[in-house]
């Protein structure tokens, strides 16, 4: 298949715009009446020494920081999944929250431990295989507030980073 210079330049523009080879194939048919197979379009692009642009990689979906322990375990408090965590070199203050990581994770958890909040109340926490973070309050009915949860998440992140996670 021979293309004139104008058609070659148009194919180059389409690829620079981010069109995929299948889209270039359709455009060649629509605009120039040139019917090519997908493989022929690949050869054409290769012969023209052009490279299709790779699409912007999608950001991996992170599992929400909510959920609880597996069945049979006490019900965990849900954590807000929209609480920001800082990845900077100087993380924000943890507000007096102390996080301890267990040497041996509790059953059903990848990692677990205990947290003591600034008000002295404590909970057990766990991170399961699905990436869900759960809290099991030590005192009946205790529910940490949003600020306490944010401070806990920050303190947990710092502690896990120290351990290489």
Backbone angles phi, psi at 147, to 5 degrees: -65, -40
Q: Across all residues in the chain, what is the average pLDDT? A: 77
Higher pLDDT, 86 or 105: 105
Task: Tell me which DSSP letter residue 100 carries.
Answer: E
Residue 113 is predicted with a pLDDT of 93
Out of 43-52, 92-101, 156-165, pick the least confident.
92-101
8 A C-beta contact, residue 81 and residue 67: no
What span, in angstroms and rounded, lies between the C-alpha atoms of 138 and 132?
19
Residue 143 is predicted with a pLDDT of 85
Residue 112 is predicted with a pLDDT of 92
Out of 13-17, 77-81, 155-159, pick the least confident.
77-81
Out of 20-24, 46-50, 61-65, 141-145, pick the least confident.
61-65
8 A C-beta contact, residue 108 and residue 102: no
Would you say residue 22 has pLDDT above 80?
yes
8 A C-beta contact, residue 158 and residue 85: no
Residue 114 is predicted with a pLDDT of 92
- The set of residues, in sequence order, having a beta carbon less than 8 Å from that of 106 and lying 6+ positions away, is 112, 124, 126
Model confidence over 28-44: pLDDT tens digits? 889 888 888 988 888 88
The pTM for the full model equals 0.44
Mean pLDDT of 63-91: 44
Edge-to-edge strands, sheet with 98-101: 98-101, 109-116, 122-128, 133-137
What span, in angstroms and rounded, lies between the C-alpha atoms of 138 and 121?
8
Would you say residue 72 has pLDDT above 50?
no
8 A C-beta contact, residue 76 and residue 69: yes
8 A C-beta contact, residue 1 and residue 7: no
Mean pLDDT of 41-49: 84
């Amino acid at each position: 298949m021979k293309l004139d210079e104008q058609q070659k330049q148009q194919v180059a523009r389409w690829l620079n715009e981010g069109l995929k080879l299948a889209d270039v194939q359709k455009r060649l048919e629509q605009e120039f009446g040139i019917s090519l197979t997908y493989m022929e379009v690949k050869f054409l692009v290769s012969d023209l020494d052009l490279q299709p642009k790779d699409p912007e990689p999608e950001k991996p979906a992170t599992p929400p920081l909510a959920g609880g322990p597996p069945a049979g375990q006490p019900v965990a408090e849900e954590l807000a999944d929209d609480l920001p965590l800082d990845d900077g070199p100087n993380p924000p203050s943890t507000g007096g929250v102390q996080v301890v990581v267990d040497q041996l994770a509790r059953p059903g958890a990848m990692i677990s431990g205990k947290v003591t909040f600034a008000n002295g109340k404590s909970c057990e926490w766990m991170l399961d295989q699905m990436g869900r973070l759960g809290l099991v309050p030590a005192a009946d009915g205790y529910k940490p507030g949003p600020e306490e949860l944010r401070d806990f998440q920050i303190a947990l992140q710092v502690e896990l980073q120290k351990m290489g996670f």
